[in-house]
Amino acid sequence: MADNNENLNSLNQEKTTLEEELKTLDSENDKEKISEISEKVNSLNDEIKTLEEGGDDDLETLKERNKRLFERAKKAEGFERGEDGKWVKKPKPITEIKPKVIEKVVTDESVINKVLDKRELESLDMSDTLKKEIETYANLKGISVKKALKSDYISFLVEKEEKDKKIDNASLGSGRRGVKKDYENMKSTDFDMRTPEGKAEFAKWEDYTRKKLG
């Protein structure tokens, strides 16, 4: 009887230890461990019940109960019976590790900036040569077209191009004014009387003709 009580105390102590361990486990990450410990606790409960009620059972009943307890304990430890009836360690399932798929964001900020810079260049009222210079400068400095336009270097080029345009326009205007009409070889039908310029030139031709005839 003393041995029986001693075994009961030992089993109850082991059961309490396992139940405390269960409380520390995570239900998601420690599923396998929880299953094993739960099986052991159930096995211990059966053993405790057997010891507590063993005095009233016959020998065959005790043997059958002990056999079931042994099998449950082996299963709790991760064993299973093979085809030959022997207990073998059950292999742990291999967890497939799926590689993480990293999706690249297509709307990259650098791509968007390039599109905006291209539109900015196309909208500028400048020569293609100057636009190319602005693009090259922006890429070299790693800045946007808008910032490049504010730089001293590009501002100088823009100002120079505008001055050159004014000089060219002035030269063309003075050249037009310096051209003299050859009224000697002109006829009245050579003038476009639908425009003010044509009428003015016709009046000058008439004046030249009258002076020539005396």
Euclidean distance between CA atoms 135 and 118, whole angstroms: 9
**Residues composing the chain:** 214
Residue 178 confidence (pLDDT): 47
Residues of the chain short of pLDDT 50, as ranges, are 56, 106, 175-176, 178
What whole-number distance in Å separates Cα of residue 71 and Cα of residue 80? 9
Does 76 share its domain with 141?
Answer: no
Shared domain for 172 and 213, answered yes or no, is: no
pLDDT confidence of residue 155: 92
Residue 106 is assigned to a structural domain of this protein:
no
How far is Cα 144 from Cα 151, in angstroms, rounded to an integer? 11
68 and 19 in a common domain: yes
Report if residue 98 sits inside a domain. no
User: Domain containing 156: what range?
Assistant: 112-178
Tell me whether strands 87-89 and 79-81 are parallel, antiparallel or unpaired: antiparallel
pLDDT (tens digit per residue) in 67-110: 776 777 777 777 777 777 777 777 766 666 666 655 555 456 77
Q: Return the pLDDT at 156.
A: 92
Same domain? For 6 and 66 the reply is: yes
